[in-house]
Structures are given as C-alpha cells and as structure tokens.
Structure 1
Amino acid sequence: MRNYNQQRNEFQRLINDHQILSMAVAPDALSAKIAEQVGFKAIFVAGYATAASSRSLPDRGILDFGEMLSKLREIIAAVNIPVFVDGDTGYGDCENVARTIRAYESAGAAGIFLEDQVWPKRCGHMAGKSVVPASELIAKIETAVATRRHANFTIMSRTDARQVYGLENAIERSRSYQAAGADMIFIEAPKSTAELETIAKAFPNTPLMANMIEDGATPMTSVNELEEMGYSMVVHPTALTYAHAYADRDFLTELYQLGKTEQTKEHMVTFNDFNQFVGLDKLNQIEHEYSKAPMQAMIDQMLNQQIKL
C-alpha cells in the first residue's frame, strides 16, 4: 500500500525549503510520469488542464467533483512524488467541502487549494470573474481544517479578488483565510512584478504560491526571480496543455497533408523507448513469472518433492 503520509511530509518539506518548488500541471498520467522522470519534485492537478484534456472545453466550472477525483487518482497512481490538487470552490457548501477534503485526502493528494470565486468559476486569468463574501471561504477553510485527518495535508487559500476589488482587498482576504487555518496563500492574477513583490512582503513568514500562465494577466517571471521575492512555490498551469495542442496541430497537419510522418518523426520518441518508459518490460516480467506454464512447472516440482518424502 502506498505511503501517502510520507508524500504529504515530503510536500511540506519542499514548500518550507529555502529553494522554491516549481510544479507543472499535468493534464494526464503520462504527462505526470514524464514530469517526474525529468526531475520535477511534485505534480499539480488543476481544472484548466483537466477540462481541456478530458472534455476539450474551457475552464468555466464545467468539470464536477467526480471527474476531478478520477483524474487525481489516475495521476497519483502513475507517479511516486507528491500530488497537489485544485479544489475549486469545494463543489458546494461546507458539507461538500468536507466531502471533497475526505475524498482527495483518501485518494493520496498531498494538499488542496480552495477559492473564493462565485460558482460556476472560471480560469483566474479570464475576464468577468466574481467573488463571494470572504466569510464564505473562511467557513470553508475552517471546515477543511477540521475535516482533514492528517495535519500534514496542506490546505491553501486562493482569492480571485484582485481583478474584482483590487490588490489590497485580495491581501486582506488572504489574511483572514490564513487566520481561519490556511497553511498557504495564493493571490491569483497580480498585474505586475511590483504586485508580486507587494504580496510577498505582506506575507513574509507564510508559504506563498505564484501562478505563471503564458499570455495571462501576470507578467511571466522566472522561478529564480520568484524565489528571490520570497515565494515558496510556482505552478505552470497551462504550459503542458499548450505544448500538447501545438504539437498535436503540427503533427496532424503533416499527417493529413502528406499522409505520413516524415518531419515530425524526428521529434517523437521511438517505439522501443516509449514501451520501456511506460513499463512494458516490467509487465512482461510479471507475465513470465506468473503465467500458466511457469506456475505449472513450480506446482509439478512441489508435487514431486512431496512424493519423494
């Protein structure tokens, strides 16, 4: 059985380390496994990528609790590093928040964030967002803290109030969420480097997350720069999804126009390398050890020994 407590502890160690934790959002289990192989220390599961990969739809509150839970389980099963998950608004009132916490924690997640958008929510860098009164997320954070079975299951608050009421309001909301028990703070979509720095100065002793979306509201800032500001974690929620769409479009265009893959083949892994990566050799070994013929030979050997005795 997997030791999820160990992974939760590892995640907390990573966010409290002097070095910033850089995380990619994985749209699927294969992407998560590749991220782990190239060196990422943790994986993020989020609604934007899941809506795109599972339904080819925008992040507009279309995915439900069950779909996100299913994706989370797939990705956790594929990797041996901590997995942090986007909990949206908790999928309802405080009772639903408690259900979400119990399910995600039992699935093996290292932590979750909960946000203060009005449902149906939308991507934090889209226009037209609305937020609930801060008291609603305060109650949800308190519920989440009271519901979690392990103190090392990290709970992050997210506010989208920057776009609606300004940065000062977003900071004040986040302070109230921290007082309610949030372990980490995330203020979505600051508009400038100066705002990123203001957020970091407002929470000098609190683990903070920054969100880097290509062509989003926040200027793209390097991992090293965010570390110098004082951020504990940076997530790249759209990078893999956009890269997949770019590669798929190029490949499929060539295949449709030429009927074969001459140019894009240079950018593919080989048949044998891919099979090895996804563990075909291990599966073949299991099949060899436990298939009918070897098992029968072992049984015959045991019977012969008994007859001799």
Structure 2
Amino acid sequence: MSGGSTVLYDVPGPRARRRNAAIGLLALAGIAALVAFVIYRFNVTGQFEQRRWDQFQYSAVQRELLSGLGATLKAAGIASVLALLFGAVFASARLSDRWILRAPATFVVELFRAIPLLIMIFFFYYGPLQYGWSIPNLWALVLGLTLYNGSVLAEIFRAGIAAVPRGQAEAGYATGLRKNQVLRLILLPQAVRSMLPAIVSQLVVLLKDTALGFIITYPELLYYGKQIGGRLAFGLPYVPAYLVVAAIYIALCGALSMLAYWLQKHLSRMPKTAAPVMLRTDKETGATAPTPL
C-alpha cells in the first residue's frame, strides 16, 4: 500500500480539503442558526421570564435537585459496577474453548442486547407485582441497566481482546503460559487501551439511561425536574427545569469523559506490550514454569 493512502480511503488532496472545510463551516453555521432559532422561540414564548426561574434560588428546590443527583449517581454507580462484572464474566465465557460455556453466554448476551431497556425495567418493576410481591424501584432500574449495558460491555471486551494480533497469544503459548495467563499478562494489557473509549462511551449511555427511572417513580434527576416544572405558581416552568437537569447531565458526562481522557493518558505512558516472560526450570523436578521478568 502506498504511503499516500490509508486502509479505508485515499488521503484527500488540496481541493478535497478545501471542500471538506467549506462543508464543515456550513454545518457549523447551520447548527448555530438552529440554536439561535431555539433560543429565539424560548424567548418569544416567555421561557426566560424571571418568575419561571425564581424557584431555583430557594434552598428547598436546590435540595430536591441534589437529592435527585444523589439518586442518579447511586443507581449509575451500582449499575456500572455490576455491568462491568457482568461484561467481564460473559466475555470470558464467550472466549472459552468449551462450547458448554460459550453457547449459553452467547445466547444471554444476544438476548439482553436485543430487548429494549425500558421493557426490562418494566418487567422487573411490574412483573413481580403480578405475584403479590415487589422489588424496590432502585433495583428494578439497576437490574435493567445491568443486563442491557453489561451485554454491550461483554461484546466490547470480547472484541477488544480479539483485536489483539494472534501472534501475541501464540508467543505466550510458546513460552508455556496457560490460557488464563496469556489473557491476563499479554492480551488484557494491550486490549484495555483500545477498549477504554468504548467502555467510557457505554458508561455515559448508562448514566443517561438512569433518566428512565422516572417512569417507575424512582426519584432521580428527571423525576424531580418534572415536579419542579409542574408548579403553577411559577408559570409551569417545564423548559427551565429540563434545561437545568440537562445542564447537570452534561456536566456529569463531561466529568466522566475527562476521567477517561486522564486514564488514557496515564495508560499511554505504560509499556505497550506485556512484560517479557521467561521459562523457569525447577531443579528438583525438571518441570518448567513461566515467570514474568
């Protein structure tokens, strides 16, 4: 392959670069015009009137928002840990050489990836009510988030490990490493760099999906936003309330992205390959065992 092309497409020339720059400027202008129009319509319909924003200065409303933020972070935190564990376990099972582990894991992952998240939340919340018992709405939300996002993470883990060149694993096996040692010492250290952006993106999706909890009356941010926006004394400020909630979500997702950027920079300073492995010979038995240098 020539140096002037990539795997997917040829490097654009001067004319193509000018055309792409012009398209980019037109797109930015269009987005700016759309934002300006939305702000204009908000202003015309009185969404920026002082009385619609007055309640946000009261400590009771601020405590409601903080309570909703705490509930959102609680659900997202529990579901993130469980989804990562779920993804790791089922990705390992899908990578197994034994079909008795691989086949059920594939079925479970594909099943929960195919079911809409909202249906799973409804199932865990309303299903038990048909039999006279219930589970807390927090856990109905967490279980739905765990199964759906955990299945997606399982595919991310599996694809990241499979993307490592086959020769890396073969070299590990040639030195006498077992499969779990090859996975832990050679494949994972290299795969985690490529998996990190996709993992963080999925965790951001999980964080935003906690907003579905308001449908089952879980008191997260959107739940309180709806209550704040429905107060007639302040002119039913739904738009201001949802704008504030959206700003909080943007801040949370931005913080998570910044953490991911810091982790990626930290990982980039680490060696890009696993530690070399040598074979150690036991003097008494003559058996060999792999030992990281």
TM-score (norm 1): 0.20
Larger strand proportion, structure 1 or 2? 1
TM-score (norm 2): 0.21
Larger helix proportion, structure 1 or 2? 2
Greater RCO structure (CA 8 Å; 6+ sep): 2
